[in-house]
Structure 1
Amino acid sequence: MIENNFFLLNLLFLIALSGCTSKDRQSLKIASDAQKIIFETDIGNDVDDALALDMLYKYIDAGKIDLLGIMINKEGIYPPKYIDIMNTWYGYPEIPIGIIHDGADCENDATNYAKCVSLMKKDNEDPMFQCSLKDFSKLPEAHVLYRKILAQQPDNSVTIVSVGFSTNLARLLETPGDNFSPLTGKELVAKKVKLLCTMAGCFNNPDLYEYNIMKDIPAAKKVFAEWPTPLVTSPFEVGIAINYPATSIENDFEWAPEHPMVEAYKCYMKMPYDRPTWDLTSVLYSVEGSSYFNISPVGKISVTDKGATIFTADKSGNRYYLMVDSVQAEDIKQHFIQLISKQPANFK
């Protein structure tokens, strides 16, 4: 049964990835077989979110995904402004953005590279990077935007990639029917979502309480217990085994003198430094499937009151977590470098 469940899960990825074609850049038509992705991020807390977002734009360029929306679970004006800068710079300003109110307190957890990049100016005092939106306060709340987007999609078609806190997802599950759909949030997710892939948890050290879980433990408990579709998580121990190298940031982007992801990396910590690729691994699995990873048996994942994540093998479950060995870690790192340092299709 474990092997059968695993085979069926990966068959969905193979079907979605087969025969991808390029999209028309002018009309922004999406290939019919492109995977439908929604990205959930705490952009501005750790720079791996910015690198993961770069990957998603490259997958759009390749015709592999249709990025339906970007949901933010870090409060403030600068996270959505940075996302808008990224959307605009990479040539996809139309991608919807959802924001959060009354979210987790994380403003002082790290250097806010989203703010740093948003405030950068050229020598003539013009903004270094252009925006497409005028008023970020008018953006919809993420759990509302989720409902709008999901209601418009075919059944069992959407993959949600969540690399931040679980707050928006928990709020989505709790939503009642509305003008977008008569279904409750949980019913809507069960009908429209095929997979939730998260960066969360830790399974090789019971005393390590992973950041994305800890910032909103009640929400994480709810999502891991109640989310109605298969859930695959990339835990702390996977991303920390794969470090994006500073040498790439310093040497591989000469084609772009002003690059919002590169500037974010340089803002986040004193260069040179290598950074774990936690969020990137979730994106990689969601889009390219399981070939880069080892996968746990099928089971259930619970979150304790202190924020630990516990996996229990169970044939009746639909939760999995990723693992890597040293050879896989090196292969993934090289793949990340190749993909991220590639010039975007819309770069001018």
Structure 2
Amino acid sequence: MKPRTVLVGTDWWTDCDDVAAMRVLVWAEKQRMIDIMAIGINACMEYSVMSLDAFLQEEGRPGVPIGIDHKATDFGGNPPYQKNMAAGTHSTRTNADCEDAVRVYRRSLAHAQDKLDVVEIGYPQVLANLLLSPGDDISPLTGLELVSCKVNKLWMMAGNWGDEGNGVENNFARNPRSRAAGSYLCVHWPTAITFLGWEVANNILTGGTLTSSTDLVAQAMRDHNSSRGRSSWDPMLVLLACQGDETEAGYRTITGTARVDEQTGRNSFEILPNGNHSYVIKTKPDEYYKAAIDNILESMQRA
């Protein structure tokens, strides 16, 4: 079967679950499940690109196009893992070397031969700005038109859907830009969206079995004070998206229409049989998902 092409967005930020998720992503590409077309960073810090570039090189996947939202400096935090990851490795790119993430996405979509999937494990403002982008030197199509023509589906770690689809979660609610972008995205994104929410992965800790002193995922876990494991929000969403089928991945879906309140970031969900949105509910014990993620992380651990 031909690998599915994916665009990936990440808040390569303070949390180490993005690092674990990126390893799952590279693993899936090595398994010929996906092809990584580009990565967009939607939380900007001094070592954002340098640390991600270093990680991708260490994982055996150099040269992935990286875009960044240079304005996304308003999410706070000072993660030690980024500086430590960039130090002593072979990173060749910095924030200044990378284009705006919207341009990287527009170019990727314009050049895509077939429809691709978008995988988002961070904040939604890059995707919202993509929809709002006008035609330019890359393509005469607007961002909305490019997404309509070239995207099959959006897989997104966002929302807290445990209380009958109502809750508050960081990726939507972090700050005014994320709240406004989440609200806009849910109304205007033209393809199907599958959400994996906070409640699905909060109690599933992975990465705690990594013991290497030189492995970058293990180092990021230690830097985050999560050497015994971290909640698996991002790696579980990435693995689900790479598998590409909710049922086969061990979930059932609730279908309808999602909304995000622009002022509070609170998400809500109206159940509708023909809705364009879904959120997932686990159908297997937590240990099933934990083992799947840990096995992948361990299989690529550096000695």
CA distance in 2, matches of 1:105, 1:293: 36
Q: Distance in 1 between matches of 2:125 and 2:290?
A: 30
- The CA RMSD measured in Å over matched residues stands at 1.9
Matched, 1:161 2:161: no
Residue in structure 2 matched with residue 15 of structure 1 by the alignment: none
Residue of 35, 38, 41 corresponding to 2:7: 38
- Is contact 1:293-1:322 (8 Å) kept? no
Once superposed, which parts of structure 1, at least 4 consecutive aligned residues long, lie more than 3 Å away? 205-208
Aligned residues: 296
Distance 1:313 1:55 in 2: 31
Report the CA distance between 1:168 and its aligned residue.
Answer: 0.5
Aligned partners of 2:218, 2:229: CA distance in 1, in Å?
13
Structure 1, 257-266 or 202-211: larger mean CA deviation: 202-211
Mind listing any 5+ residue stretches in structure 1 that lack a counterpart?
Answer: 1-18, 20-32, 120-126
Q: For the residues of structure 2 that align with 1:58 and 1:243, how far apart are their CA atoms?
A: 19
2:6 alignment partner, SS class: strand
1:265 aligned to which of 194, 203, 221:
221
After superposition, the C-alpha distances for 1:222-275 in whole angstroms (9 at most, x for unaligned) are: 1111100000010000111321152x122xx4xxx5222211111111x54321
Measure the CA separation in 1 of the matches of 2:12 and 2:265.
Answer: 21
State the SS of the aligned residue for 1:179: coil
1:49-64 equivalences in 2 (<5 Å): 49-64=18-33
Q: Residue in 2 aligned with 1:114?
A: 82
Partner in structure 2 of residue 249 of structure 1: 210
Where does residue 131 of structure 1 map in the other structure? 91
1:148 maps to what in 2?
107
In the alignment, does 2:295 pair up with 1:341?
no
Aligned residue in 2 for 1:185: 143
Any idea what SS the aligned residue of 1:297 has? strand
- Code of the residue aligned with 1:80 in structure 2: it is V
Change (3 A) 1:328 1:36: farther
Equivalents in 2 of 1:62, 1:300: separation in Å? 33
- TM-score (norm. length: structure 2): 0.92
Residue from 318, 327, 332 that aligns with 2:276 = 318
Match of 1:285 in 2: 240
Measured after TM superposition, the shift of residue 111 of structure 1 is 3.3
Candidates 259, 265, 274, aligned match of 2:229: 274
Say if 1:259 and 1:296 are closer, same or farther in 2 by CA, change over 3 A: same
Q: Map Cα deviations across residues 159-202 of structure 1 (whole Å, 9 max, x no partner).
A: 11101100100110000011221111011001000010100001
Q: In 2, Cα distance between the equivalents of 1:179 and 1:295?
A: 42
Q: 1:44·1:112 contact (CA, 8 Å) conserved in 2?
A: no
Contact preservation (8 Å) 1:82, 1:114: yes
* Correspondence 1:303 to 2:272: no
| Cα shift at 1:318 | 0.8
Structure-1 separation of matches of 2:47 and 2:191: 32
Verify the 8 A CA contact 1:292 1:332 in the aligned structure 2.
Answer: no
Structure 1 pair 112/160, CA: closer, same or farther in 2 (3 Å)? farther
Q: Is the 8 A contact 2:50 2:92 kept in 1?
A: no
Distance 2:227 2:300 in 1: 22
Aligned partner of 1:209 in structure 2 is 168
Instruction: Indicate if the aligned counterparts of 1:298 and 1:315 stay in contact, CA closer than 8 A.
Output: yes
In 2: Cα distance, 1:272 partner to 1:241 partner: 15
SS at match of 1:296: strand
Instruction: Judge conservation of contact 2:133–2:143 (CA < 8 Å) in 1.
Output: yes
Q: Report the Cα distance in structure 2 between the residues aligned to 1:153 and 1:342, rounded to whole angstroms.
A: 31
Q: State whether structure 2 residue 42 is matched by structure 1 residue 73.
A: yes
Instruction: Report sequence identity in percent.
Output: 26
- 2:195 aligned with 1:237: no
Q: Gaps (5+ residues) in structure 2?
A: none
User: Separation in 1 of the partners of 2:233 and 2:13?
Assistant: 14
Q: Could you report, residue by residue, the CA deviation over 1:66-119 in whole angstroms, capped at 9, with x for unpaired residues?
A: 1001110111231111110011111221100001122251232x6342123223
- Does structure 1 retain, via aligned residues, the 8 Å contact 2:158–2:171? yes
Does structure 1 conserve the Cα–Cα contact (< 8 Å) formed by 2:167 and 2:267?
no
1:219 corresponding residue in structure 2: 181
* Aligned equivalents of 2:9, 2:73: Cα separation in 1: 14
